[in-house]
Every structure is written in structure tokens, then in C-alpha cells.
Structure 1
Amino acid sequence: MGHKLTIVGLGPGSKNSLTLGVMEKIKESRKILLRTQKHPVVDYLASLGFSMESMDHYYDEKDSFDEVYDAIADDIIERLRDEDIVYGVPGSPLVAEYTVQKLLERAESHGYEIEILPSMSFIEGIFQVLKKDPIGGLQIIDGLQLSHQKPDTDMDIIVTQVYNQAVAADIKLRLMSYYPDQYPICVIKGAGVPEIQRVEWVSLHELDHLEWVDYLTSVYVPKVDDKWEKYYNMNNLVEIMATLRSKEGCPWDLKQTHESLRPYLLEETYEVLEALDNDDMELLVEELGDLLLQIVFHAQIAVEEGYFDMQDVITGISRKLIYRHPHVFGENKETTDAGALERWEEMKRKEKDVRTHTESLLRIPKPLPALMRSYKIQKKAAAIGFDWDSVEGALEKVKEELDELLEVYQTEHTDKITEELGDLIFAIVNMARFLKVEPELALNQTNEKFIQRFAFMEEHAKTLNTQLEEMTLEEMDQLWNLAKIHKNKKNDKKYK
């Protein structure tokens, strides 16, 4: 049987917050190990003659807080081989105390007995200062973990571990992604310790201007009310859509179905692509929002029909990403994009239980634009070696299909003409793939080029006091050639 580890909470800092049980344990101990001596109650305990040893030296020796906490936990576990240990931490042991969590994991694996004597934490001290009851909703966030702990603006939050101005600056910048710069926050130092307690309401952008913040400092951020422009999150969007679909909501939204929304989903997708083509980031934000609305809309309809909700959608795609990236979330690392893509396809086949290559082709969605679907079909076929050796082979196939179309295009065999025209387009897509050109994008560029040249023709016709419909085909063809020359001159200037 190993030795015993007793973890005691020293309270928020006032000697009046020390519990009777903690004091009794300290009195019967030969020595107390302290995570840090930088705690107001330590001087009081020293004045009573108690023997204490601080672990503060690890903060100077290590490069990160995680390394410090690991070192402290390892040190204590090593000492437990020879003696019982009483370990004192600020506040309460199970509130924002990472060394305690690490000790619990290590002690259990070594079979050591553990006793925890709780105390008043700094959180209770903050409640006293603010005269707030957390029953209305409270989120506690580690200021050093804001990169993945996201604040919920619909409830009060307390940000802990505001160690210094540098940490405060990082916290400020991260919170500004959720709150306005002028948003009122309360900065609280030494909550519950009258001798050092300091409370100041400031605007968020002023947080790192306060020179007095230290290891006893936390920040209280009240939930956002209607007085402020709200920074919305995914949950808010889901709630808004649920309201729009309610009896008190919008009649148009209420009558929509999965089927009726199909054209809007396609439309919004293409508008996102257009924003990307135009490299318009401001428009892209708006269009991505419109596309996201369609996804939330479909999810809300599914909720009402009892099938799934938005959380199911998010969980599903998250699990898929983790499963299909074993080279990121697992041990099989990939260093090239080709290797990563191959791993993705491999995991996709396993996930879908695709047993034949034909099944893989059939899974390519039919509603895709025909050029895109053709491109994907040919890529999958090429992946197993069903492909030309070079682009020349693909080009010869285009010529072959063109000849076959020329043989039938003047006949009355409409089905045959359709078939041969489809074969020609398919062959052209194959050639585009060899040239590493997305046929959908190439055709869209040509569409835009046609519109620009047509606009030039129409404008030039006006300078001739005529309209296109009044001109002969030969006259319009001359304007078309002029438009091509005009465009080429512009390009020449661009590349000089």
C-alpha cells in the first residue's frame, strides 16, 4: 500500500476563508507542499509557524504552464514513494486547479490513496463581489484556453487566469471576436480578500491597460442584452430559424419544404462561387451566410418531421472529418497532399462500404452539373488505370468523336445526334482533365467572355446609331471581331 496524498484548498486568500478541516490537517502535518507561495493566506500560515515548501521554482525553470503543472505533479508523485504528502493549492482543489487533475490521474495509476479537503474558491468570492446568483447561467473559461473554449454571449462568463498584462492582451483580442470593443466588463483582483481586493468596470478594449492585473485576477463579462449589437453564434441562428418556422413566425418560411428549397440551395451555392471568382471577400461573407441559412433551414424542417437536427449535422461531419483523416488525428502521418488524398479516398471507401469500382462511380451525385459529374467519373476511372497514357490520346479521342458527330448531325436521327454530341463533350472533359483544367470553370470563363464581347458589340452599335437586331449577321460578325481585338489590346496593356 502506498502513502497518502491529501490535497487541501487554501481558499481565495483571506484567513477567514480557511475551513476548520483544512486547518486541522495543516496542524497535524510535518510540512505542507504549496503549488505557489504567491497567495495571501501563506503569510498568515507562516506566522503560525507551519513548515511549508513552495513549488514556485518550476515556473522559472519551464517554458509553459503545462510543463510546470506536469513537473509539480511528477515531483509530488515521486515524494509519495517515501512519505505522506499534504499539498496546498489556492482556492478549492477541484476548481481551476490543473495540478490536482494531473495528480489524480497519476496517483490512481500508482495506487496511492487520495483525500481532498475542499474550501471556498475564488468563484464564490466573485459571486460575493458581484452580488450575483449563477443560477441564471454561468460559463467559466480558462483565459489561457480561449483558443478552444468559446464564450457563449447568451450567458454571464468568468474568465480566469488573467496572470498579467500580456495574458490580458491576448484575452482581450479573443473576446473581441464575440463582443463589441466598448462592451463593459468587470475586472476583479483578489475577490473575497479585503486587504487586496480591487474591482473595476472598464470597456473590453481597456482590459490590457490595467497595470494592476496579476495571478489573482479574473474578468466577469455579462451576457449580451438588447442594448448591444449582438455577435451571433450557431445556436442563435438555429433558434432564429425555429422562430421563423413557428406559428408566430413568417408565413413564407413556414410553408417551405425540402423540395421547395432545392432551387435556393443551388442558387446560393452558385452565388458563393461567383464571390470566389470575383475575389470579393465582403460578398463572400454574405453569400456563405446565405448558404449556411439553407443548411439550417433544411435541418429545422427535419427537426419538425422528427428525423434529425442541426447538432446531428455538425456531429456527423465532425466524425467524418476525424475518421477520414487518420493521418492527422491518428498515428499514420502523411506529409504530401497526394498521400493525404489517397488516405482520404481509402477511408471514404471503407466508410461507405464500397466494394466495387462501379459502386464508387454510382455514388457521384446525379444532380451535379453534368460537366462536374463527368470530370469526377473520369478521375475515379483514371485512379484504377483506365486512362490514356498522354494528353495526345485524349485529343485523338476528341477528333474521333467529332468525326462521328459530323457523320450524323445532318440526319433526322435525333437520339444518335444527342448521343454523339454527349460523347464529344465527354471526350473534351477528359482532355481538360489531362490539361488540369476544370471544365466547369473553363466554360464559365467563356460564358463571361461572351457576355463582355456582346456588351462591347451592343455599345459600339449605339455609336453607329443602330441596334444589333437591325444589323446583318456579317455586320455583327465584324463587331464581334472588333470586340476580340479590343479585348486583346486590353490584355496587352495588362501584361506589359
Structure 2
Amino acid sequence: MTARITVLGLGTGDPDQLTLGCFRKLQQADKLYLRTDQHPMIEILNENQIAYESFDQLYVEKATFEEVYEEIAQALIRYALADNVEIVYAVPGHPMVAEFTVVRLRELCSEANVELQIMGGESFLDQAFTRFGFDPIDGFQLLDATDLKLNQLNPNMHTIIGQVYDTFTASDVKLSLMERYPDDYNVVVGHALGVQGAEQMIEVPLYELDQIEGYGNLSLVWVPRGESPELLNRTFERLHEIVSILRSPEGCPWDREQTHASLRKNLIEETYEVLETIDDDDPDAMCEEMGDLLLQVMLHSQIEEETGVFTVYDVIETLNEKLIRRHPHVFGEREAGNSDEALANWQAVKDEEKRSKGIDLSEQSLLDGIPRELPSLMKSLKLQKKAATVGFDWPNSGEVIDKIVEELDEVREAIKLKSADNQHEELGDLLFAVVNLARMLKVDPESAIAAANRKFTERFQYIEQGLKKREKDFAQSNLEEMESLWQEAKKVLKKQAKKQEFS
């Protein structure tokens, strides 16, 4: 006789819902094992003197549910092969709904040449649809409370969360849901749905989810689908929908007229506005400006979607694939103990990508790949870094300073000659040398000049306010007075900065 395991579902706990076939199989079983005896149907087994063994002790012995389920599946395989009889394994609900031991059995039985038969039972979902009163065809998802991930949550669909065994699990579920739903969003907790005398349905605002009692093996949380703007506006799908509406014939005339070329300046401006919020350390402004930058990505993607070339989902897919591919030390088998090794892995993968496209790396300049449109200081820094990788570099910062002095002397000479072309060239060389010093000192020149610009702005505005207090304007002042206010500004603003630092 071929070793066989028959898995059957005990249903939700209502004896009237247990199928006749399942009941007969329970009566006829030579060996009956239960995942748990913490289920209302145990009373029926006892009344009918049906012998069984349960695996409840494993929940005490093992540290995780995964270990429990693995041990149950392995044990059932051993019993089936050793006894050479049909093993009946009964689980709560339906064997194919949120029953991880059955998932594992399907894998192990195939490997061990054990025949596996599955008999259905009433799922807790049957009672959930009936008692909660929604049609799953409207959009429905079933999630596991013990492995709930934020990216699984979709407010456009009804969500049932199972495996809410206790208050601690309910608290974890609450915190996850509050990342996507309002704190006062109404949810429904169902205890022992369909079990006469034990069923409870409790509607509570989300923030009270872990404050109610009665959680156990037969507990569910239902999160109704939502249609409020407050909820849907937190989804990427809603953003995609809004942008497509704006570009549609019924949308905004201005948005419809835009092209990649016309939006080019907007993309640049929005990027710099994000940088400004970073420099200002202003999280609220950063949140808003990053949204404006994201809008530019959405608009460019929508233009291409309308021509059938690509969509924003293609953009996301390409990015995800690139991130995984270029981080083999995270998603692959390579290693990186520090940032330099990580960058080396990144560059190696980039080189592999180029070769796969038929690009001969030996024919490429070392400086290829630096964007043409980069701001000049940033581009100078990248050019110098590239050159330094092959040893074309200053040995130390002292020699760079000497070079700066040399370039400054050449600027002075160009001024004496009154040659505009020479002045233009020599000033460029001087700035390039200053960027070299910034690189040697590990200072970002863009960041440094931005800080200098902010400092100048603050001090100059202090002069403006100082003149206003004296009821003057620039025409009524002179350089000596302005210089005096400038020196005053340096002291006052420095004190304010220190005060903010320690506050």
C-alpha cells in the first residue's frame, strides 16, 4: 500500500457546516492527527469517541510558528512512511486557506513519494463574507497578521487579516495599518465567526484595535475598502490616475500642451528646490518639494505612456532591476565590507552591462559617462575624480594650494593685459584648481558654495534691515556704513547660529 496523507478541513466550528464526506473520513481514520485541539469541532470528535492526537505541544517547544509548521509536516511524513497506512490530518477551516503546514506537505509528499489527498472544509472566509457582509468580487485580499508588510496594503480593496492570535499581534497589525489608514478609520474584529454562542463582531476605530479582548485562534480583522480622498491620496495608483486625467482631453489645457522639451526647465527647477529644503533642513518643505519633483517624473512617463513607448511602471521595473543587479553584495553572492568595495561592485556591474550592449570599453574614454548638463562645479569634481582613479592627481593638498596661487597670479597678469579672453580662461583655471582643493579636502564644492551663498544672503539682508531701522535706503548710505553693518551681521548671526545649535 502506498503511504498516504489525507488532509481535511474542520471548518469554522459550526457542526452543521462540516461536510458529510469529512465527517465520515474522521470516523474511519485509523490514525487522526490535529494541528491543534483548540477548535470548537473537538467537542464533536469527543462526543463521537473519535480518537486523535494533536501537535499543540510543539507550540510550546518551538520558538517560531515556522518551526512548528515544519516539524508537523516532517512528522506526518515520517508517520505515513512508518505505519504504511492512511494518515488523516485535520486542520481548522479549509486546508488551502492560510494553512502553512499543508503548503509544506505538498512539497514534502512529492519528494518522499507519499500520496497526498486534500478534502475541503468550510473556510473562515465563507463566514467572513457572510458575517461582514461584503462581496469579494468588489476587490478583496487576505493577509497574514504575523507577516504583514506595508506594501501589501491596498485601500481600494476589502482586506481580511487572519492569524490575529493575541493582543500583541493586534498591536503590530494596528501600527502597520496606521501607516496607510487614518488613526480613526473604522475596522471590524470578528471572533469565532459562525460559531453559535461564541461569535463576536466588534467595530472600533483603528487606534483601539489592540484594546479589545478575546483574540485567539479564530480571530480576524476586517478593514473595509475605502473611497475617501484622504485615504486614496496616499496611494501611488491615485497619483498615476490624477496625472493621466490632467493629460486627458477632459483635463488641464496647460498639462496637455507640455512636452519633454517644455518640461525640461521645470525638472531642473524642482530639483534645485528640493536641494534648497535639504540645505535648510526643513522636512515639511522637503516633503512638498519632493512631491513636485516626483510629478515631473510622472508627467514625462505619462507622455510616453500616451504614445505606447513605456509607462511609469516600466520606469519602476527598470529601476528595481538595476538596483538589484548593481548590488550583488546585497542581493547576490558578492561581498562588500565597506563603501569602497560596494562602489567597486557597482562599477563592475556597470561595465558588464556596457559589454552586454556591445560597447567596447577599451575604446571608451575614462571620462565618458559624465552627464553634459551637470552644473559646472559638480562636473569639475567628477572629471577630477575620474582622472584620479588612474593616478592622474596631485600628491597632496599643499601642492594644490600652490597651484591655486599660480593660477591667481595668471589671473592678475590677464587683468594687467586687459585681455577679456585671457581673463575668462584664467578664471576658469583658477576655479578648476579650487575644486581640486575641495576634492582633496573631501569637501563638496557645490555644498560649500551654496553655504557661502546663504551666508552672503543672510548678511546682506541684515544690512538691508539695518538701513531700514535707520530709515535709510542704499542711495542714502555709503560703503563705510554698509561695511560696518556687515561686520555687525557676522557677530550677530554667529551668536544666533550657536544659540540654535544648543537649543
TM-score (norm 1): 0.93
1:134-177 Cα deviation digits (max 9, x unpaired):
11111111111223552111121111111111111111111111
- Give the SS at the match of 2:116: strand
Give the counterpart letter for 1:165 in structure 2.
T
Please identify, of 259-268 and 330-339, the stretch whose mean Cα deviation from structure 2 is larger: 330-339
Structure 2 contact 10–18 (Cα < 8 Å) conserved: yes
Is the Cα contact below 8 Å between 2:232 and 2:238 reproduced in 1? Answer: no
- Would you say 1:406 and 2:412 are equivalent positions? yes
Alignment of 1:451-470 (within 5 A): 451-470=457-476
Which of the residues 95, 99, 102 maps onto 1:100?
102
For 2:238, give the aligned amino acid.
Answer: N
CA shift for structure 1 position 231: 4.9
Letter in 2 for 1:156: H
Change over 3 Å in CA distance of 1:359–1:121 after alignment to 2? farther
Q: Which residue of 1 aligns with 2:55?
A: 55
- What does residue 132 of structure 1 align with? 134
Give, in angstroms, the shift of residue 55 of structure 1: 1.0
CA distance, structure 1, for counterparts of residue 144 and residue 211 of structure 2: 20
Report the counterpart of residue 436 of structure 1 in structure 2.
442
Q: Aligned partners of 1:460 and 1:161: how far apart in 2? A: 67
Matched with 2:368 is 362
The alignment status of 1:392 with 2:398, answered yes or no, reads: yes
Are residue 252 (structure 1) and residue 258 (structure 2) matched? no
Q: TM-score, normalised by structure 2?
A: 0.92
Find out whether 1:26 has 2:26 as its counterpart: yes
Report the CA distance between 1:35 and its aligned residue. 1.2
Match of 1:95, SS state, is coil
Tell me which residue corresponds to 2:189. Answer: 187
User: Cα 1:71–1:383, aligned 2, differ >3 Å: closer, same or farther?
Assistant: farther
Does 197-206 or 91-100 show the bigger shift?
197-206
The SS at the match of 1:361 is coil
Measure, in 2, the Cα distance between the counterparts of 1:115 and 1:382: 67
1:76 aligns with 76
Q: Following the alignment from structure 2 to structure 1, what is the Cα–Cα distance between the partners of residues 154 and 439?
A: 47
Q: Is residue 200 from structure 1 mapped to residue 202 from structure 2 by the alignment?
A: yes
Alignment partners' CA distance in 2, 1:190 and 1:494:
57
CA-to-aligned-CA distance 1:349-404 (integer Å, 9 cap, x gap):
32344725955522121222111122122222223332222112322222233333
What is the letter of the counterpart of residue 259 of structure 2?
T
Rounded Cα–Cα distance in structure 2 between residues aligned with 1:181 and 1:490: 39
Q: Which amino acid aligns with 1:187?
A: V
Secondary structure of the equivalent of 1:314?
helix
Structure 1 range deviating more: 385-394 or 310-319: 385-394
Q: Distance in 2 between matches of 1:345 and 1:331?
A: 16
Q: Which runs of 5+ in 2 are unaligned?
A: none
Equivalent residues in 2 for 1:272-421, closer than 5 Å: 272-353=274-355, 355-356=361-362, 358-359=364-365, 361-411=367-417, 413-421=419-427
Q: What RMSD, in angstroms, separates the aligned Cα atoms of the two structures?
A: 2.4
User: Which residue is equivalent to 2:158?
Assistant: 156
Deviates more, 1:6-15 or 1:473-482: 473-482
Q: Distance in 2 between matches of 1:39 and 1:243?
A: 52
What CA deviation, in whole Å up to 9, does each residue of 1:37-60 have, x standing for no partner? 111112212322222111111111
Q: Percent identity?
A: 42
- Deviation, structure 1 residue 204: 1.5
Q: Secondary structure at the match of 1:200?
A: strand
Q: Structure 2 CA distance, aligned partners of 1:3 and 1:41?
A: 27
What is the CA–CA distance in structure 2 between the aligned matches of 1:415 and 1:166, rounded to whole Å? 74
Mark the CA change 1:453 to 1:126 in structure 2 (over 3 Å): closer, same or farther.
same
Displacement of 1:2 in angstroms is 6.0
Q: Does 1:64 align with 2:64?
A: yes
Name the count of aligned residue pairs.
496
